[in-house]
Chains A and B, each alone.
Chain A
Amino acid sequence: MIALLGPEASWYLGVAAFLFATGALGVLLRRNPLIVLLSLEIMLNGGNLALIGFARNLGDGGGQIFALAVMAVAASEVVVGLGLIVALNRKRVTLDVDRLNTLRG
C-alpha cells in the first residue's frame, strides 16, 4: 500500500477551485463563442481535478470513473458546440455572443 507523497489532497482541491473560477470568469466575460467553449473546458477540467483528488484521498475508484464520464460528456458537448459555431459561420452571422440576442424581451 502506497501513501500519498507530496502535497495533501487539499492543495489539489485549491488548484481545482482556482481553475473553476477562472473558467467561470472566461465564460462570463468573453465574446467569442470559441473562447467561451474553451473556458467551459477549463471549468470542467477543474471539476475533474477535484474528483480525482478526492478519489485518491478516499481510496475510492468511483471518482476516476466519474472523471472519465465527465470527459466523455465534455467531448460530446464540444462536438455540439462547435457544430453550432460552424453552422453560424456558414450563415454569415457575426461570431459575437453579444450580437446573438434575438431572445431579447
Chain B
Amino acid sequence: MKTLAVLLALAGALVLQTTLAGLMTGGRLAVNLVLVAVVYLALAYGPVTGMLAGAAGGLAQDALAGAIVGIGGLSKTLVGFLVGILGAQFIVSTALPRFVMFVSATLLHELVFQALDALLQSRGFAPQYMAVLFQAVCNGVVGVAAFLIVENGPDVLARRRMRRASFAKRRF
C-alpha cells in the first residue's frame, strides 16, 4: 500500500510538472514538484523511502528530460536520505520546520545537481542564485501546503459532511 502511494505520488508529481511546464514553455517553472514529492515522502516515511523515492523520481525525471540519466537521481537520492534522517531526528510536525526543510532540501539539491551537470557537461559552475532561491521558496510553500491538505483535508471533508447532514435533519 505504501509502495503504491509512493509511486502514485511520484507519477502524479511528474505528470503535473510536465503539464505545467508545457503551459509555460520558454519560461522556467519555479517549482520542482518531483523534488517536493521526494522531500514529502522522506519526511512522512523516513530515510529509506526518501532515498528510494529520490532515486526513482530522479531517474524518471532525468529520462524524461533527455539529460544524462542519473544526475537528478543522485541528487534526489542524497536529498531524500538526508531529509529522512533529519526528519527522524528532529520534530518536524509544524509548518515552519517543514518549510525550512523544503527550502534547505531544494538548495542542496540544486547545488549538487548543477555541480554534477557542470562537471559532466564540461561547463563552468555558475548557478543562478536568485532563481534557485525563488524555486526553494516556491517548493517550501507547495510542500507545506501539501502537508496541510493531506493532514487536514479528510477532517475538513468529514466536518462538512456532518454539517450538511445536520442541516438536512433540521429541515425535515
Same complex origin of A and B: no
Which residues of B are in contact with A by a Cβ distance under 8 Å?
A: none
